[in-house]
Amino acid sequence: WMPSMTRQSWAQPLRRNMAHRGVSGAYGDLAERRARMDAKYDPALEASLADWISKSIGDKVTGPFNETLKNGVVLCKLMNKLVPGSISNIYTGEMAFKQMENIGKFLGQCPPYGVRSDELFQAPDLYEGANMTAVLVCLDSLRRVSGVHEKGGKVEPQTVASSVLLRTGKVGSLESMAKREPVAKPDGTAYDHAGKSVVNAKAGADGNFGDLAERMEKINSKYDKTLEAAVRKWIEDTTGEKLNGEFQAALKSGVVLCQLVNKLKPGIVKSVSPSSLPFKQMENINNFLTAAQTFGIRSEDLFQTVYLYEGTNMTQVLLTLDNLMRVSRK
């Protein structure tokens, strides 16, 4: 048993070969706070927890901790070893929102097992490697609680703080996570996602820098408002529904897109979620993209789910919809 870290020592790791956000996009006081937190990451505790998990599930946990755990499969297996049958339908594919759903299922079982809600991490802390120290805190607490269970001790189920509850009442904090915008330092210096200094990084207006900022500027410069208006009118005429507000905001839940393909080919998307949960909305978008391919849209002409959901490449979204519009009119 190793001493548990306090909540105040939670941090983002700054370690070689580990995916994480590090001090990316931070400067001034924020950069200093993150750097201090990074310095507290405990690789010895990580190794100890990796060994415990390996022995618990009967499979060797190897490689960078974040990469090994980020799809949530190992964590779900671990919880099922501690509480048999507590998690069903573990997703083993590559879809990001489904992997985050695995993580959410694991987190949802921690408080009933005895882990305090203030020792839980948020799904993006692990999936994005944004705060791996918080992940260590949670797993260390889970290990200690499991030790009490093994010895026949009584562990009270814990209540979940409202700050880590989704609107559904499930644990996960996907909606409450504040979006971290990448920002360059005022002097032009920035950090890459490995926490290494990048000198004279060019910051874009949206907070991106370096090659990414240049690519985003090129993408944005090609955005065709005239095409957007034409596609918007086609969607409205097809679905019979008015699209209000910004184009990206009107489409990001995926509901309108699913309604669109269901008008073109009734029943092709069998289940459309009205939920405000991010992974459900991204699932809608993915269902639309799958349906679009049945109309003859090539996979290379499809946008990626995140392009629409985060608005990072609306030009590609327009191209996909324009292709679908033309194909549907043949």
**DSSP structure string for 272-285:** ------HHHHHHHH
C-alpha 300/C-alpha 298 separation (Å) is 5
Output the pLDDT for position 160.
62
C-alpha dist (Å) from residue 32 to 27, 136, 148? 7, 22, 38
Mean pLDDT within 274-283: 87
Q: How many residues does the chain have?
A: 330
Sign of CA dihedral 186, 192, 195, 201: negative
Sign of CA dihedral 113, 161, 182, 23: negative
Burial of 197 from C-beta contacts in 10 A (0-12 / 13-18 / 19+): exposed
Mean pLDDT within 257-271: 95
Identify the DSSP state of 209.
B
pLDDT digit string (tens) for 136-186? Answer: 889 998 999 999 888 888 888 887 654 444 433 344 433 333 333 332 323
C-alpha 278/C-alpha 166 separation (Å) is 11
C-alpha dist (Å) from residue 105 to 86, 97, 128? 9, 12, 17
Angle at which helices 96-113 and 132-150 cross, to 10°: 40
CB 132 within 8 A of CB 125: yes
Mean pLDDT within 203-226: 54
Amino acid at 157: P
Output the pLDDT for position 38.
58
pLDDT digit string (tens) for 17-71? Answer: 333 333 334 444 445 544 554 566 788 889 999 999 999 999 999 889 999 999 9
Higher pLDDT, 297 or 139: 139
Mean pLDDT within 209-213: 44
Output the pLDDT for position 181.
32
Angle at which helices 96-113 and 278-293 cross, to 10°: 150
| Most confidently predicted of 12-26, 66-80, 267-281 | 66-80
The token pair at 298 is 């090539």
CB 278 within 8 A of CB 174: yes
Sign of CA dihedral 95, 101, 102, 104: positive
CB 103 within 8 A of CB 132: no
Higher pLDDT, 267 or 305: 267
What stretches of the chain adopt beta strand conformation (E)?
190-191, 197-198
Residues sharing a CB contact under 8 Å with residue 145, sequence separation 6 or more, in sequence order? 113, 114, 115, 155
Percent of the chain scoring above 70 in pLDDT: 69
Backbone phi and psi for residue 201, each to the nearest 5 degrees, phi listed first: -70, 140
Q: How many helices (H) and strands (E) does the chain have?
A: 14, 2
Output the pLDDT for position 311.
83
C-alpha 263/C-alpha 261 separation (Å) is 5
Residue 79 has pLDDT above 90, yes or no: yes
Closest CA to 281 of 251, 259, 311: 251
pTM of the model: 0.47
Output the pLDDT for position 297.
85
